[in-house]
A and B are shown apart, each in its own frame.
Chain A
Amino acid sequence: MSATAKESARLFTPFLDPVDMVMCCSAEATLEEVNSHAAAFGLRFPLVGEPATSLSAHLGVIDHASGSARFGPYVDNILGMNWELKSGTIVRVGERVIKSTTGYDLQRFLLHTDGRYGCARDYVLRLRPLGGAMAQAVLHGDEPALEKACELLLQSPWLHWLDAVDLVIAGDRNTSLEIYADCAPGEEACFGDFFRQLAHNSGCLVLAPAAPRRRTLPALSLKTVLSEARTLGAELVRDFGGAARVLVVNGVVHYFPATPGKALPADALAALANRCAAAGGHLFGPLAPVSIPSAAEACWAAELEAAWKQL
């Protein structure tokens, strides 16, 4: 086999392995397509977004999603990639098994680099079992009550069983806490007891609506510490209108301006970016200001780019 053929043979090809619960698909596959294929094997991709939007489009806008409470960010749910370098060469990055410490973790590094080093052609996704039932609740209450509910949840041994804990802030007196968990049939009541107890202990009211498993992609995403995310979400809606979805367990705010695509004032964005960065967080998404690298970082990036250009 020629060297080129050997390199090609290393690339991932489409597959679904129901035993390891991994699948390889195009980066342009939509969430709907992925989940439709996975469901035939009793599996699902656990991060929720826009069903008709591609995986790569999601990754270009968000790094966490509803579902990240339990399953972490996108980088924790993508195990490998076929990566097209800027030179046009496609290389395999990462693995198809669910655990690896073989070499430097390039796929996690590359996933959110905004095309600086190329782009993903295919992903190897980590899938999860479809439980067969969904336990869900929406908690309503005033700000102190919802804050208490968040605090109680973050200390609860139930936390790691909840797919999503989203504080939805849609304006004055219109805030709610949406919780859902994929579970086995018959377990909904058990979760329901917990949701009611949580509401009782925090002074909230609990409703159990049919929450659609779809989410619109935000215009701006902020990553910060957990308590600060709830504060930032409320401040954004208060100061600029629109709505925010706070991923309570991840310290992430997804912000939706009242007028889609409308930019926030530059000074406000800069202040937000500084506030998040000071805590080791960041801003991400279409409205995020362009990140200017330091001299050192620009140098590192240039060296990587130059080395990879020769491949």
Chain B
Amino acid sequence: MAIPADASELIALVRRLKDEDVPFVVRGAGTSLSGGPVAAQGGIVIHVSRLRSIEHLDPRNLFAVVECGVVLNQLDEALQPHGLYYPPDPSSGPVCTLAGNVATNAGGVHCFRYGVTGNYVLGAEAVLLDGTVVRFGGPAGGRGDWRDDWKRLFVGSEGTLGVFTRFWLRLIPRPEKVWTFRATYRSVGEASDVITRLVTHPASPAAIELMDARSVAMVENSPMAVGLPRNRFMVLAEIDGPTALIDRRVQSVAETMRACGADDVAYSDQPAARVGLWKARKAQGGLLGQISPDFVVQDAVIPKVHLAETLRFIYDESDRRGITVATVLHAGDGNLHPNFLFDARQPEQLAAVEEIGKALMCRVGEVGGTLSGEHGIGNDKAPYMAKHLGPRGCRMQLAVPLVFNPRHQLNPLKVFPERRFG
């Protein structure tokens, strides 16, 4: 493990490791859910936690310059006094670093309306394996000195092309007001119907979330219960923007949720009440760790028209193997997060979860979806890339790391299993 004190040490370290000819991986806060920062082939882990400087805020031109180890919520706290907003909001915000966010092109609950990390990266500085320090883009967010827009390849590259040192991030004005809505539905069909209507609603929700009935029951059977009817699907939606515009859209959103068969629609613009509406959704992740020795959070995106049948598939595959599953979705995006609960000390359970994951990834491909919406591929899903992309697609993709990291010294065995160092 190496913990450089600043960017110059980080750069010197990369140059040294190149010469030492050992594999290495950069780690932000280690919150990846796909194995991205794991030293899969041994070697050195570079921890960027000390590169935490927010170097510049430019409210007039709506950008920030930050070091790669800045924590996401640290940035948000710095932006609040200026009325500025950086929308990507993965649930690990209190600890995750921007280096990890950019490396995985992280999303979050509000990216249905606002987009993912890649939509906010104006520029990135990185040290390449040959020791050169390059800046792709910058405050203008264009190509800079380059003919092609290489930053597009680096964002979401999971630490396989270079080592980020700092970023130029696009900011937007903070929403003036937020309304949160919560409703429960008897069936996945009703929940699917309301999601379909909300995505095209003129209020353009920032977030549309779904918790399946198993997740709701899990929360309601715990000390974190919020009083939702068990065996119901819960839909959360959030709209935000200028008060004068948003307030007039509230009733229409509530009516849309009622019209699809909601038991009850609760909504509020009051911060404390909004926290209450989110409570079940926010509690679910922590509960999984409490009630099960181990769990895996999967990540895939499907065309929303296949939502109900894909949930059914997940239930069938899990039930017949005796694995408990509870699913949440960034439903506006069609981004599924089934959580599989198991005990890794029981080899048959571990094998069962791996089988379900494999079956799910096959199904996702069959319905036109993709392997990852916001967690990245890491080593968790690398084995599925060949089937998903096909031989030509794989070879086209693999040409990219061969340019910048031909021996796979940087983060080997990630994204593609063929990426083995040495």
Contacts and interface: CB of A to CB of B under 8 A. Distances in A.
A24 to B, nearest CB: 11
A311 B368 CA distance: 23
Interface stretch (B46-54, B55-63, B69-77): B55-63
Contact of B152 (A109, A129, A183): A109
A227 B122 contact: no
B370 A187 contact: no
B26 interface: no
A156 B245 CA distance: 13
B207 interface: no
B173 A279 contact: no
B149 A109 contact: yes
A170 B240 CA distance: 36
Interface size class of B (residues with CB under 8 A): 35 or more
A103 B334 contact: no
A311 B395 contact: yes
B168 interface: yes
Interface stretch (B130-138, B228-236, B311-319): B130-138
B408 to A, nearest CB: 14
A102 B371 contact: yes
Nearest to A85: B396
A238 interface: no
A303 B304 contact: no
A285 interface: no
B107 interface: yes
B152 A100 contact: no
A142 interface: no
Interface stretch (A2-10, A28-36, A51-59): A2-10
B399 interface: yes
B303 A311 contact: no
Contacts of B142: 223-224, 276, 280-282
Contacts of A108: 118, 149, 152
Nearest to B202: A184
B397 A156 contact: no
Nearest to B373: A99
A281 B141 contact: yes
Contacts of B371: 102
A216 interface: no
B377 interface: yes
Interface in A280-297: 280-282, 291-294, 296-297
Interface in B372-422: 372-377, 385, 388-393, 395-397, 399-404, 415
Contacts of A277: 143-145
Contacts of A3: 391
A281 B63 CA distance: 14
B373 A100 contact: yes
A184 B395 CA distance: 46
B36 to A, nearest CB: 10
Contacts of A102: 370-372, 377, 385, 388-389
Given A99-B373, A225-B140, A282-B144, A187 B390 contact: no
A10 B393 contact: yes
Contacts of B107: 99, 101
B172 A159 contact: yes
B375 A104 contact: no
Given A3-B391, A304-B400, A132 B202 contact: yes
B242 A161 contact: yes
A72 interface: yes
Interface in A127-145: 129, 131-132
A232 to B, nearest CB: 11
B309 to A, nearest CB: 13
Contact of B334 (A98, A159, A281, A304): A98
B185 to A, nearest CB: 17
Contacts of B392: 7, 89, 91, 311
Nearest to A185: B202
A42 interface: yes
Contacts of A106: 153, 396-397, 400
B248 A101 contact: no
B405 to A, nearest CB: 12
A304 B59 CA distance: 38
A120 B173 CA distance: 35
Contact of B395 (A43, A109, A307): A307
A144 B252 CA distance: 40
A25 interface: no
Nearest to A72: B119
Nearest to A159: B173
Nearest to B415: A103
B105 A101 contact: yes
A151 interface: yes
A240 interface: no
A97 B370 contact: yes
A193 interface: yes
27 contacts: A42-B200, A72-B119, A101-B156, A102-B370, A104-B397, A105-B152, A105-B153, A109-B152, A129-B202, A129-B204, A131-B202, A155-B173, A158-B241, A159-B173, A160-B172, A160-B175, A276-B140, A280-B122, A281-B140, A281-B141, A281-B142, A282-B140, A291-B147, A296-B132, A297-B147, A300-B150, A304-B399
Given A102-B372, A297-B146, 17 more contacts: A7-B392, A19-B199, A20-B304, A76-B119, A95-B369, A95-B370, A97-B368, A101-B375, A105-B105, A106-B153, A155-B59, A194-B244, A280-B168, A281-B140, A282-B144, A297-B148, A311-B395
Interface of B: 59-63, 83, 104-105, 107, 111, 114-116, 118-119, 122-123, 132, 135, 137-150, 152-153, 155-157, 168, 172-177, 196, 199-202, 204, 241-242, 244-245, 248-249, 252, 301-305, 330, 333-335, 368-377, 385, 388-393, 395-397, 399-404, 415
Lowest 8 A-B CB distances belong to which pairs? A280-B138, A281-B140, A307-B399, A184-B202, A223-B142, A281-B142, A157-B176, A108-B152
